[in-house]
């Protein structure tokens, strides 16, 4: 990433005056620009704001006055109903059971690859990098049929171990494909990052007799906190939002993570739009909160991957 210094080093003339940049005069053009951007922002927030608004209205009220009407009384009843009726907590926990191990494995394994490819001259380095990067770009549907069949065959044939080591309809089965799929993206990002670290770092450690593992764990990894945080934020969101893998690779509706369970939830429990709105807001909340807390990491991770170099 080309570093564009936003604040050019100022000479002596600037240092003796208190640092106060003169605000640009508010020209008519600027006003138009601000109005346009503010309206656009509102437009993009509108569907979410409307969902929140609807979720806070009693059903009886919207039934009487319609959804396009001013509020007469607001209530959290829809939230408690949605929470209780659809066992949101249960499905959120299912999500956590998948996200946490997947996240740890993805970051660990991809940093292995990145370390190897960025810090050593390895034959076929470029080919491996392409294997990981391109693999992450494949649409999931290209893999899903054989993967589903393989999972089922594995279970019915009991090829390895005995018939106890099932993979279809298990959390490990879903975690495995998340890990395999996302290693690609993270390996790409981390390799690019580690290549920017000065070679002297590990050289010095080498003189001290540090082995490969120590160079990785105690020297390289602590320097990668920023990209690891960015990737963790991004991957959390992606895995939380996954719909397809758990839908196809899990059979028991009760075991599915929250996003994949949505489809059933609607039919079974959400009887009206107010309840549907409350349920949607609850389920959207974790990623929205994480985005607001870790916005820099989120955006940084996304552009880190897309904007190599």
Partner 1 sequence: MAITEAPTGTPPAAPPARRGRRSANRWTRRDKTVLGLMIGIPTAISVLFVWLPALASVALSFTRWDGIGLDTISWIGLRNYREIFTIYPPFFPALRHNVIWLAFFLLIPTPIGLLLAYLLDKEIRFTRIYQSAIFLPVVLSLAIVGFIWQLIYSTDQGLINAVIGKFGSQPIDWLGNPRLNLWAVLIAASWRHVGYMMILYLAGLKGVDPTIKEAAAIDGATAWQAFRYVVFPALRPVNIVVLVITVIESLRAFDLVFVINGGRNGLELLSVLVTQNIIGEASRIGYGSAIASIMLVISTVFIGIYTVNVFREERR
Provide the minimum distance between the beta carbon of 225 and partner 1 in the complex, in angstroms, as a whole number.
19
Q: Which is nearer to partner 1, 224 or 248 (CB)?
A: 248
In the range 95-134, which residues lie near partner 1 by CB under 8 A? Answer: 109-110, 112-113, 115-117, 119-123, 126, 128-134
In the range 245-284, which residues lie near partner 1 by CB under 8 A? Answer: 247-248, 259-260, 262-263, 266, 272-273, 276-277, 279-280, 283-284
Q: Which is nearer to partner 1, 16 or 181 (CB)?
A: 181
Taking phi over 0 as left and psi of -120 to 50 as alpha, with beta for the rest, 192 belongs to: alpha
What's the number of CA atoms in the CB half-sphere (13 Å) around residue 91?
27
In the range 170-199, which residues lie near partner 1 by CB under 8 A? Answer: 176-177, 179-181, 183-184, 187, 199
Provide the minimum distance between the beta carbon of 189 and partner 1 in the complex, in angstroms, as a whole number.
12
Neighbours of 195 (CB within 10 A): 12
| 147 makes contact with partner 1 (CB under 8 A) | yes
Provide the minimum distance between the beta carbon of 132 and partner 1 in the complex, in angstroms, as a whole number.
6
Please, what's the b/e burial string for 226-248 (b: 16 or more CB within 10 A of its CB; e: otherwise)? ebbbbbbbbbbbbbbebeebbbb
Q: Which is nearer to partner 1, 15 or 27 (CB)?
A: 27
In the block, residue with structure tokens 């608004």:
53
Sign of CA dihedral 288, 239, 92, 226: negative
Provide the minimum distance between the beta carbon of 304 and partner 1 in the complex, in angstroms, as a whole number.
9
Q: Which two tokens stand for residue 88?
A: 């949101």
């Amino acid at each position: 990433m080309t570093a564009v210094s936003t604040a050019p080093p100022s000479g002596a003339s600037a240092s003796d005056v208190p640092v106060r940049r003169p605000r640009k005069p508010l020209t008519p053009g600027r006003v138009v620009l601000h109005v346009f951007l503010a309206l656009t922002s509102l437009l993009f927030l509108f569907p979410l704001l409307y969902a929140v608004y609807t979720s806070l209205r009693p059903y009886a009220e919207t039934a009487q006055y319609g959804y396009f009407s001013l509020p007469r009384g607001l209530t959290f009843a829809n939230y408690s109903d949605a929470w209780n009726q659809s066992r949101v907590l249960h499905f959120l926990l299912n999500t956590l059971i998948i996200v946490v191990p997947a996240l740890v494995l993805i970051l660990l394994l991809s940093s292995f690859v990145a370390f190897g490819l960025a810090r050593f001259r390895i034959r076929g380095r470029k080919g491996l990098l392409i294997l990981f990067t391109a693999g992450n770009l494949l649409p999931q549907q290209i893999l899903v049929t054989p993967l589903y069949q393989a999972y089922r065959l594995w279970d019915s044939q009991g090829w390895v171990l005995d018939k106890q080591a099932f993979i279809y309809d298990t959390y490990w089965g879903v975690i495995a494909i998340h890990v395999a799929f996302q290693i690609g993206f993270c390996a790409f990002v981390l390799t690019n990052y580690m290549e920017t670290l000065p070679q002297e770092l590990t050289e010095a450690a080498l003189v001290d007799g540090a082995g490969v593992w120590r160079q990785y764990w105690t020297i390289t990894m602590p320097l990668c906190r920023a990209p690891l945080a960015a990737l963790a934020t991004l991957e959390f969101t992606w895995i939380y939002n996954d719909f397809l893998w758990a839908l196809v690779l899990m059979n028991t509706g009760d075991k599915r993570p929250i996003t994949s369970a949505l489809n059933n939830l609607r039919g079974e429990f959400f009887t009206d739009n107010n309840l549907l709105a409350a349920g949607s807001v609850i389920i959207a909340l974790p990623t929205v909160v994480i985005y607001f807390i870790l916005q820099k990491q989120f955006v940084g991770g996304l552009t880190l991957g897309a904007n190599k170099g």
